[in-house]
Structure 1
Amino acid sequence: MTTKMRSEIAEQPAALRATLDSLLPRVDEVKALGERTRQLLFIARGTSDNAAVYGRYLVESRAGRLAALAAPSVATTYRRRLDLDGVLAVAISQSGRTEEIVETLAWARDCGAATVGITNGGPDSPLAQAADVALCTVAGEEKAVPATKTYTTQLAALAVLALGLGAEVDAADLQRVPDAVEELIANPGDLDAVVEGLADKHGAVVSARGLAFSTALETALKLKEACYLHAMGLSYADLLHGPIAVVDAETPAVLVAAENSPTLAGTVALAERVVAAGAAAYTIGGGATLAKAGTAALNGPDLPEWVAPMGLIVPGQLLTEALARRLGVDPDAPRGLNKVTQTD
């Protein structure tokens, strides 16, 4: 039986095409906001927060703008007013109905920020209504609790945002993403070996750096929420500062990198170190170089680094869905989770 999660993973190429067709013509709207702002503040929770990590690395590394991740409790709990003049506040919410995120975006506007909302909830959602510019993704209804197509289309919206902010990239790269995702769904690599390698483990470390760091965080979140695996998402720079001590025969590593990234060499070195220590290193992306250094490999996309995270997450999604089924867990409805989460 095909799970809803697996079906929605398969819908991502179409969702990405529809989202890019809808949002690329709106680059000038973002540009107009960018011309009166200097830095960015990303507002999000959960999976959307992992998307925001991609957005932060993207606008800092390619558009040269300082960016930060908001602490919504400053607005909603401490109710502290900040000077946000010159700030572009970008709120990200799959549903567009998470009250904390909508409230924090309204707070940012009241503090002087220009505002963008990224949501799959449509133009009538509270988040879209609260934003100066609403970038609505076109993923369609997502029925499985773990976000898949809503996440990758959020990344697409953030790539469009970066274009509007003057990112030094080739916009044509975005048009290659749906085909690359389609290819990964058809050929994710040695999925069975990675599933079997994790099936009897209680924990794992998922690590990357730079633009791929968002993929490590999102893969770890998926393994936690749908497979109940104690998965830690860490920058490999932070991992090397001490937590690498937890990586052993019972706690494998999942290492992620884009093939043409300046972080690839460090990821390869980490894979070699993990294997030399007697632990398994399962790799996602990084081409033949990273695959050779690890224990078993999942493929990455043939894409430039700035758009690679839209493809790199797909093998992680497929791994999560397959591992959940292997463990007898329903990936569509993990225990204790709802599609829309409200926080105080």
Structure 2
Amino acid sequence: MSAAFSTFAPPSRPSLGAVHTIPEILGQPALWQATWEGLRWEAKDLKAFMTEALQASDREVVLTGAGSSAFIGELLQGCYSRRLKRCVRAVPTTDIVTNPEECFAQDVPTLLISFGRSGNSPESIAALDRADECLSDVRHLIITCNPGGDLAKHPTKHPRAVFVLPPAADDKGLAMTGSFTSMALAGMLMADLDCLEYQGSRVRLMAAAAERLLSSEGGRFRELARLGVRRAIFLGAGALKGAARECHLKVQELTNGSVMCSYDSFLGFRHGPKAAIDAETLVVFLFSGRPGQKAYEQDLVKEIRDGNLGCFRLGVGAGLAPHEGPEATITLDEEGLLRDEERAICGVLVAQVLGVELSIAQGLSPDNPSPCGSISRVVQGVTIYPRAHDPL
């Protein structure tokens, strides 16, 4: 057993182009604790805002963001539906900007929860404005890592509240790492502010799981980086499908697209996408802790095993029973105490570490893996046009 990035000592990181990204990944357990502490400080005002917003029994909740920030909504949608007992939708800002009449087809009371690392993506601001234009009764909850960003400062026509995460959450590396998991955590906790003290014990469980992964699985990731992986497929259900989507983007970003990635649910994967597995494909199973889902997961695992598909199969969480062949399990939670949304946040670290290992193995710089600038820390070149009232 060895720690993640143990072969990349701090003095070597400048030459590797990993001054920011490696510490930002390793610092997540502490960042999660700090995020919970920050919510405790602001719980009174946030609770008052959420209580007022949710007094309307027909108020919908829309979770939004762009890129990785949009995937936070996908990860949390089921958690919010279950806890709030109301309609919850994950809708990217990129859809709201271009198709607001479809995203807000009915003028119903809405709580728009916006996630943004820098808060400077043009779509983030435009989505607030589109919601104000389309909805007569909307509340805005903004969760961001940058107190000076446009999202945190933008005035809205309807009531709003802003939660800014601890400074360490504002990643300096190109790929979102601690910003993604800490915003997802803050969003998860925001759905249950009445039980924030109890939630602190859940955060400690998550941090302990992440610490175990980061302190003991470094060798596993180094082995995977030497396999010549050219494709990676991440599978999960419910909250873990949202995590799978973030995982696929993380590895693809950090390798500048040299490792092409996809994601799906366990059941959905059979309906065509399974054809993408070839001899250079890594298949990653993000296993659920829910008994009702495990049978579906194991059926697909057996099918992929029987076909000897992929160059390696990696199980994240209990679920991949011992078996001969190129595969391994990374255990998150031996006691089975983590909920699926908590597993999802922890499981994203697998793709973060793997992405960095693959990036360095390919001679790229994890802090800025796109030498030609095709992707950047804050999206560039987006022009926001006035809302067009097209005939529907």
Query: TM-score scaled by structure 2?
Result: 0.78
Question: Amino acid of the residue matched to residue 314 of structure 2?
Answer: T
Q: CA offset at residue 246 of structure 1? A: 2.0
Structure 2 residue matching 1:307: 3-state secondary structure: helix
Aligned in 2, Cα 1:252/1:263: closer, same or farther, shift over 3 Å? same
Question: Amino acid of the residue matched to residue 126 of structure 2?
Answer: E
Rounded Cα–Cα distance in structure 1 between residues aligned with 2:210 and 2:297: 22
Percent of matched pairs sharing the same residue? 19
Structure 1 residue matching 2:267: 3-state secondary structure: helix
Question: Amino acid of the residue matched to residue 315 of structure 1?
Answer: V
Structure 2 residue matching 1:252: 3-state secondary structure: strand
| 1:99-114 equivalence runs, <5 A | 99-110=122-133, 111=135, 112-114=137-139
Return the match for 2:150 from 126, 147, 150.
Answer: 126
- 1:84-103 CA distance string (max 9 Å, x none): 43211111111111121111
| 1:113-192 equivalence runs, <5 A | 113-122=138-147, 124-130=148-154, 132-140=160-168, 141-164=170-193, 172-188=201-217, 190-192=220-222
Rounded Cα–Cα distance in structure 1 between residues aligned with 2:202 and 2:189: 11
Residue 300 (structure 1) aligns with: 332
Moved more, 86-95 or 184-193: 184-193
Question: Amino acid of the residue matched to residue 7 of structure 1?
Answer: P
Match status 1:57 vs 2:78: yes
Residue 201 (structure 1) aligns with: 229
Question: Amino acid of the residue matched to residue 316 of structure 2?
Answer: G
Moved more, 318-327 or 246-255: 246-255
Tell me the number of residue pairs that the alignment of Structure 1 and Structure 2 aligns: 339
Residue 387 (structure 2) aligns with: none
Residue 341 (structure 1) aligns with: 379
Question: Amino acid of the residue matched to residue 208 of structure 2?
Answer: D
| 1:1-344 equivalence runs, <5 A | 1-2=12-13, 3=18, 4-24=20-40, 25-26=42-43, 28=47, 29-36=49-56, 38-72=59-93, 75-77=96-98, 80=101, 82-110=105-133, 111=135, 112-122=137-147, 124-130=148-154, 132-140=160-168, 141-164=170-193, 172-188=201-217, 190-197=220-227, 200-227=228-255, 228=257, 229-260=259-290, 262-280=292-310, 281-287=312-318, 289-290=319-320, 292=322, 295-301=327-333, 303-335=338-370, 336-342=374-380, 343-344=382-383
Q: CA offset at residue 171 of structure 1? A: 6.1
Aligned in 2, Cα 1:291/1:219: closer, same or farther, shift over 3 Å? farther
Q: CA offset at residue 298 of structure 1? A: 2.6
Aligned in 2, Cα 1:144/1:102: closer, same or farther, shift over 3 Å? same
Question: Amino acid of the residue matched to residue 244 of structure 2?
Answer: A
Question: Amino acid of the residue matched to residue 51 of structure 1?
Answer: I
Structure 2 residue matching 1:236: 3-state secondary structure: coil
Q: CA offset at residue 164 of structure 1? A: 4.1
Rounded Cα–Cα distance in structure 1 between residues aligned with 2:195 and 2:84: 6
Rounded Cα–Cα distance in structure 2 between residues aligned with 1:116 and 1:165: 17
Q: CA offset at residue 334 of structure 1? A: 1.6
Alpha carbons 1:76, 1:104 under 8 Å: kept? yes
Question: Amino acid of the residue matched to residue 337 of structure 1?
Answer: I
Rounded Cα–Cα distance in structure 1 between residues aligned with 2:363 and 2:296: 36
Which is higher, the Rg of structure 1 or of structure 2? 2
Alpha carbons 2:236, 2:288 under 8 Å: kept? no
Structure 2 residue matching 1:254: 3-state secondary structure: strand
Please list every run of 5 or more consecutive structure 1 residues that lacks an aligned counterpart in the other structure: none
Aligned in 2, Cα 1:100/1:125: closer, same or farther, shift over 3 Å? same
Q: CA offset at residue 75 of structure 1? A: 4.6
Rounded Cα–Cα distance in structure 1 between residues aligned with 2:292 and 2:314: 17
Please list every run of 5 or more consecutive structure 2 residues that lacks an aligned counterpart in the other structure: 1-11, 384-392
Question: Amino acid of the residue matched to residue 98 of structure 1?
Answer: S
Question: Amino acid of the residue matched to residue 166 of structure 2?
Answer: V
Rounded Cα–Cα distance in structure 2 between residues aligned with 1:212 and 1:232: 14
Aligned in 2, Cα 1:292/1:102: closer, same or farther, shift over 3 Å? farther
Aligned in 2, Cα 1:16/1:171: closer, same or farther, shift over 3 Å? closer
Aligned in 2, Cα 1:242/1:74: closer, same or farther, shift over 3 Å? closer
Alpha carbons 1:97, 1:126 under 8 Å: kept? yes
The CA RMSD measured in Å over matched residues stands at 2.6
Structure 2 residue matching 1:290: 3-state secondary structure: coil
Residue 3 (structure 2) aligns with: none
Q: CA offset at residue 191 of structure 1? A: 2.2
Question: Amino acid of the residue matched to residue 50 of structure 2?
Answer: V
